[in-house]
Amino acid sequence: VWTDFETATIKDIFSKLDSEVVGFSSRFLYRCLIVYPWTQRYFAKFGNLYNAAAIMGNPMVAAHGKTVVQGLELAVKNMDNIKATYADLSVLHSEKLRVDPDNFKLLADCITIVVAAQMGAGFTPEVQAAFQKFLAVVISALGKQYH
């Protein structure tokens, strides 16, 4: 259950990310692959992820960042039904890709850091609380197949 403030905040963050923040989607994925290098192993087919420069210059990484944002936008559009919306994605990440679900939290933290850096003082504790609640629901829905 979402409060009006939470709903408005999440929608506002994603509407701004969409239009104003060029490269947002790639930046959080770069950060995840650099800060938590073991996450690179799932992206073997993306080729050279040898160092930060290689990661940030890799067009497949940038493209995949956009894919993840599209996944998040789907959750924003279906905020009251994220579990059902993510049913297929959860099966994909657990059964096919075999992503360790601990990594969802790490990626979510990278998303939070990039959003916070972008919003500056606008990222108040209340905004952070709403955003983290949203990401927690996303992670729980994505991890549904693991339980």
Binding site for ligand HEM (CB under 6 A): 39, 42-43, 64, 67-68, 71-72, 89, 92-93, 97, 99, 103-104, 107-108, 138, 142
CB of 121 to ligand HEM, least distance (A): 25
The residues, any chain, with a CB within 8 Å of residue 49's CB and separated by 6 or more, are 33, 40, 43, 55, 58, 61
Residue 120 burial class via C-beta count within 10 angstroms: exposed 0-12, middle 13-18, buried 19 and up: exposed
Q: Quick one: 105 or 129, whose CB is closer to ligand HEM?
A: 105
Distance, first Cα to last Cα, the chain:
22
CB of 131 to ligand HEM, least distance (A): 12
What gap in Å lies between CA 38 and CA 50, rounded to an integer? 12
Question: Which amino acid is it at 73?
Answer: E
Nearest position to ligand HEM, beta carbon: 71
CB of 128 to ligand HEM, least distance (A): 17
CB of 43 to ligand HEM, least distance (A): 6
Q: Quick one: 9 or 90, whose CB is closer to ligand HEM?
A: 90
